[in-house]
């Protein structure tokens, strides 16, 4: 059974601080996605990483996929109130020709002005 542990569950920080969210598993994934979800809406894709050791940057957000493709991190530099939301990681894999995804439990981030 695939399992994806995400930490921390909750994070409340001041504007301008840096933070890192972690996503860990004992399973290997073909891809790892990070999503952000606003209240009353579905998750929206931020980034996909597919290669072990891959680093992607999206403005102040830096995403890294572990060398063994079992873990990932999201780092936010100089957080802003607009970064507030629920961040979800999701591991994807293919089995018997079908694609499945498993989600972490989420990190609820609140950035205070």
Which residue from 15, 94, 110, 112 is in contact with other proteins, where contact means CB under 8 A?
94
Give the span between the Cα atoms of 2 and 45, in whole angstroms. 21
Q: Which residue lies nearer to other proteins by CB, 10 or 16?
A: 10
Shortest distance, position 90 Cβ to other proteins, whole Å: 7
Q: Which residue lies nearer to other proteins by CB, 3 or 112?
A: 3
Question: What number of chain residues touch other proteins (CB under 8 A)?
Answer: 24
Which residue from 70, 104, 109, 111 is in contact with other proteins, where contact means CB under 8 A?
104
Footprint (CB under 8 A) of other proteins, residues 28-87: 33, 35, 40-45, 48
């Amino acid at each position: 059974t695939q399992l994806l542990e995400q930490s921390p569950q909750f994070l409340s920080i001041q504007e301008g601080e840096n933070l890192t969210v972690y996503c860990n598993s004992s399973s290997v994934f073909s891809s790892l996605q990070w999503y952000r979800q606003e209240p009353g809406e579905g998750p929206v894709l931020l980034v996909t990483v597919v290669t072990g050791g891959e680093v992607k940057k999206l403005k102040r957000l830096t995403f890294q996929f572990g060398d063994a493709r079992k873990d990932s991190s999201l780092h936010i530099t100089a957080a802003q109130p607009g970064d507030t939301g629920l961040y979800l990681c999701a591991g994807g894999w293919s089995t018997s020709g079908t694609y499945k995804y498993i989600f972490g439990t989420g990190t609820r981030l609140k950035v205070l002005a």
